[in-house]
Amino acid sequence: MDAIIVGGGIGGLATAAFLQQQGVRARVFEQAPELRPVGAGIVLAPNAVRLLRRLGVMEALERQALKVRTGWQFRRWQDGRILLEQDMATCESLYGEAAWLVHRADLLGALLPAVDPDTVHLDHQCADIDQSPSGVTVTFANGASAGGEVLVAADGIHSTIRQQLIGQLPARDSGLCAWRAMIPADRLPERFVAPTQTLWLGPGRHLVHYPVSAGRTINVVAFTPAEPGETVESWSAEGKPGDFRAEFAGWDGMVNELLDAVTQVGRWSVLDRTPIERYVHDRVVLLGDAAHPMLPFFAQGAGQAIEDAATLAACLEQAGDISTALGAYDQVRVPRTAQVQEASHDRAQVNHLPDGPEQQARDRAFAGEDPLRHSDWLYSYDAQREARQAVRAELLRAP
């Protein structure tokens, strides 16, 4: 089989690696002229890590990633009081894998050697697709074309392929904007380098920080109210460090200490999308943000793209024909990713409660929570096992 993959990000490279691992001819076409180390921090949870382990890339990734020792350390905005501190010692015993703090560039760097370099083609921007009963042909802006039996659209939240198939996804205005900064660890006290994901909660906003790249860099991401009419949705959009600090004026001194070290910050609006009903359109498969863009409040954007990739490869391996494989992919991925999308959507309201009775009830509830066990539905999920079961179900349904 010949698979064409449009998009050389996490989802695209992971798909190529999983497909090539089982002998499928998979080619990646990326619009950028080079694969640059862009992006920022990612939390990889056990549901994604177990798949990367099977792919054979975790050994390389672990040299740059940090294993989470204490996760979900929730702090109150005003005084830094710890509301919840989850000991991650039991994570591996519960789910077989730990959670890891990773720079996106380090993850891409670990995935790339798992893909045949001769199958990665840069400076190829998708211009058009044409389907037939036996396959798909992609035409690129540079005049080149490529054909295959399956086309995987891994071209991100602004996917041109998805737009051609179903149009623009209507956005739900979250009322929020995101801020992201990377700070060299040597500019901060050592306590910021601890392998902990710290979440500060306050009225109408929250802030997260954790180390990446073997502790050399501190990743900071925050969410605050958006300005009226703000619609720029791009990681490359820039903000002003002074404005970033002003958003958290009056917060605990540890937050001020962190933001005082910020010299460059990204700022963009956060738009939400409702789940769509299907990801498969004849021989075209939507994957990652092209299929299910989600708010980042469950830290599952990269994880769900990796699940997509592993699922698609497992379905194609298990099924006797492409139609059965793609039908199984749709059956298993649409409800799974919709559940994560909606959970992420609901989390924003919980994080941003104004001070008062609801906030106090939330904080009291944190004291009795065990987030690791509450996340069983998310972390125990085995995408490859579910894919094989979905294929079997599709075969039973076949006439």
pLDDT at 86: 86
Please state, in angstroms and as integers, the Cα–Cα distance from residue 225 to each residue in 44, 93, 176, 263, 342, following that order.
Answer: 27, 39, 4, 21, 20
Its domain, for residue 341, covers 2-38+101-170+274-350+372-397
Q: Would residue 115 count as lying in a domain? A: yes
pLDDT band of 230, cuts 50, 70, 90 = low
Q: Would residue 360 count as lying in a domain? A: no
Taking the model in full, what pTM does it have? Answer: 0.95
In CATH, what number is assigned to the domain containing residue 303? 3.50.50.60
Termini Cα distance of the chain: 24
pLDDT at 229: 65
pLDDT at 232: 62
Which of these, 386, 393, 395, 397, lies nearest to 313 by C-alpha position? 386
Q: What average pLDDT does the structure give for the chain?
A: 93
> How many domains does the structure of the chain reveal?
1
pLDDT at 381: 97
pLDDT at 352 over 70: yes
Average pLDDT, stretch 15-43? 92
Q: Would residue 66 count as lying in a domain? A: no
Average pLDDT, stretch 49-53? 98
In this predicted structure, which of 75-79, 130-134, 310-314 has the lowest mean pLDDT? 130-134
pLDDT at 39 over 80: no
pLDDT in tens, 94-136: 999 999 999 999 999 999 999 999 999 999 999 999 999 889 9
Decide which of 289 and 269 is more confident.
289
Most confident segment among 12-21, 36-45, 347-356: 12-21
Q: Would residue 69 count as lying in a domain? A: no
Which of these, 269, 275, 249, 270, lies nearest to 260 by C-alpha position? 249
Q: Would residue 355 count as lying in a domain? A: no
Q: Would residue 132 count as lying in a domain? A: yes
pLDDT at 38 over 80: no
Decide which of 89 and 111 is more confident.
111
For residue 358, give every residue at least 6 positions away whose Cβ sits within 8 Å of its Cβ, in sequence order, or none: none
- 95 among known catalytic residues: no
Q: Would residue 390 count as lying in a domain? A: yes
Tell me which of 210, 329, 379, 381 is the catalytic residue. 210
pLDDT band of 237, cuts 50, 70, 90 = confident
pLDDT at 272 over 90: no
pLDDT band of 259, cuts 50, 70, 90 = very high
For residue 127, give every residue at least 6 positions away whose Cβ sits within 8 Å of its Cβ, in sequence order, or none: 139, 140, 141
pLDDT at 222: 96
pLDDT in tens, 149-198: 999 999 998 899 999 999 888 777 788 999 999 999 999 999 999 999 99
pLDDT at 72: 79
What torsion do the CA atoms of 107, 109, 114, 117 make, to the nearest 10 degrees? 140
For residue 29, give every residue at least 6 positions away whose Cβ sits within 8 Å of its Cβ, in sequence order, or none: 4, 5, 6, 7, 8, 121, 124, 126, 138, 140, 146
Q: Would residue 200 count as lying in a domain? A: no
